[in-house]
């Protein structure tokens, strides 16, 4: 692999690391918001949407970490 492509991969790795950190922060904030809801709200549509958002963000973090690992294998 030439230096230009290796440099682009390094840039992608840095960008992915930033995205992972941002997604983790959002996930944690959403999970905390859900956890701090009264039980009656947790069972409501609003609560279910919050829980689903936290779960989806967790899935996104996992997928981003998989992509990161693949790029690090190349580097």
Record the pTM.
Answer: 0.89
Q: DSSP for 22-61?
A: HHHHHHHHHHHHHHTS-HHHHTSHHHHHHHHHHHHHHHHH
Share above pLDDT 90 across residues of the chain, in percent, rounded to a whole number: 97
CA distances (Å), 12 to each of 17, 23, 44, 68, in order?
9, 16, 40, 8
Q: What is the pLDDT of residue 75?
A: 79
**For residues 47-64, average pLDDT:** 97
pLDDT of residue 1: 85
What does the pLDDT average to over 32-54? 95
Query: pLDDT, tens digit, for every residue of 19-39?
Result: 999 999 999 999 999 999 999
Phi/psi at 36 (5° precision): -85, -5
């Amino acid at each position: 692999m030439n230096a230009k492509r290796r440099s682009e991969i390094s840039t992608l790795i840095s960008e992915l690391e930033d995205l992972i950190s941002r997604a983790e922060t959002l996930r944690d904030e959403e999970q905390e918001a859900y956890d701090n809801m009264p039980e009656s709200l947790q069972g409501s549509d609003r609560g279910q949407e919050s829980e689903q958002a936290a779960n989806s963000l967790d899935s996104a973090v996992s997928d981003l970490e998989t992509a990161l690992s693949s790029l690090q294998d190349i580097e």
